[in-house]
Amino acid sequence: MLELIDVAKSFGPTRALAPLSLEIRPRKTTVLIGPSGCGKSTLIGLMNGLIRPDRGSVLFDSTAVTAANSALIRRRMGYVIQDGGLFPHLDAGANVTLMARHIGWPKAKIEARLEELADLTRFPRDALARYPVQLSGGQRQRVSLMRGLMLDPEILLLDEPLGALDPMIRSELQTDLKAVFEALNKTVVLVTHDIGEAGFFADVIVLMREGAIVQTGTLRDLVDSPADPFVTRFINAQRAPFDALRGGPQ
């Protein structure tokens, strides 16, 4: 499906990604996780050609992603970024359908697809005429997801789609998102900081650190047989809700 072979990327003196290889398995959800700045977004950027690797190659459907073909390939990939990615000058519906209109889908097909997606993502249809500023953070992420899904892409890339949401909405959206993934049975790559979220979504977790992959496996693999002490430290760094109570009075 999607294969990164020996890719590396530096921004000036900053090495964002050390040479690494990764294969994204079709119809599975792969979660990229790791500390801030470890190169997750850079890796996503390499996948859809927004960032060109310094070396190595990216294969999509056995075709190398190049500067020349990346625009067309991107239409076969849905992309959802953490907040801010919606076009403020277009209403929700127009945001979702921009690309379909641009490539000349018939009106009826666009309308049908839009309604289908609104139902799938549980987005209120009457809110489609609202502008991004008039939507809540959770609704905006649903619009962003609809936009990513509009052209029925073969692969969905989500870079911290739930990062800025409050815990209640976040949990609700996690449930909905997972339902969407299962309903569509697509290849999904999702970036998160949150190991709980990773465990909830992932078929495969890719744990990264400083531009390198530390371990690839299921949550159970990571917990039971960590490849490195960092894995355990990273997993344990997340505070569970009742830690504070368990500690007793100071």
Ligand X SMILES: Nc1ncnc2c1ncn2[C@@H]1O[C@H](COP(=O)(O)OP(=O)(O)OP(=O)(O)O)[C@@H](O)[C@H]1O
64 is a contact residue toward other proteins (CB under 8 A): no
CB of 2 to ligand X, least distance (A): 17
User: Residue 199: which residues within 8 A CB-CB, separation 6 or more?
Assistant: 205, 219
Residue of 4, 7, 16, 146 that binds ligand X (CB under 6 A): 16
Kindly indicate which of the ranges 19-27, 75-83, 188-196, 221-229 contains the residues binding other proteins, using the contact rule CB under 8 A: 75-83
How far apart (Å, rounded) are the C-alpha atoms in residues 56 and 124? 44
Give me the 41-70 binding string for Mg ion, x by CB under 5 A, dash otherwise: x-----------------------------
Closest approach, Cβ 196 to Mg ion, in A, equals 18
Count CB neighbours of 121 within 10 A: 21
Residue 134 binds other proteins (CB under 8 A): yes
Cα dihedral 116→150→77→46 (10° resolution) = -120
Residue 203 token pair: 């078929």
Determine, following the binding rule CB under 6 A, whether residue 237 of this chain makes contact with ligand X. Answer: no
* Per-residue contact flags (x/-) with ligand X for residues 36 to 75, judged by CB under 6 A: xxxxxxx---------------------------------
Residue found under tokens 């625009």: 71
Q: Are 18 and 211 in contact (CB under 8 A)?
A: yes
**Considering the complex, what minimum distance in angstroms separates the CB of residue 90 from other proteins?**
6
Q: What torsion, rounded to 10 degrees, do the Cα atoms 90, 94, 98, 101 define?
A: -130
Q: How far apart are CA 129 and CA 208, in angstroms?
A: 40
Q: How far apart are CA 179 and CA 230, in angstroms?
A: 32
Per CB under 6 A, residues contacting ligand X are 11, 14, 16, 36-42
Per CB under 8 A, residues contacting other proteins are 48, 50, 71-75, 77, 79, 81-91, 93-94, 97-99, 101-102, 128-129, 131-134, 147
Per CB under 5 A, residues contacting Mg ion are 41
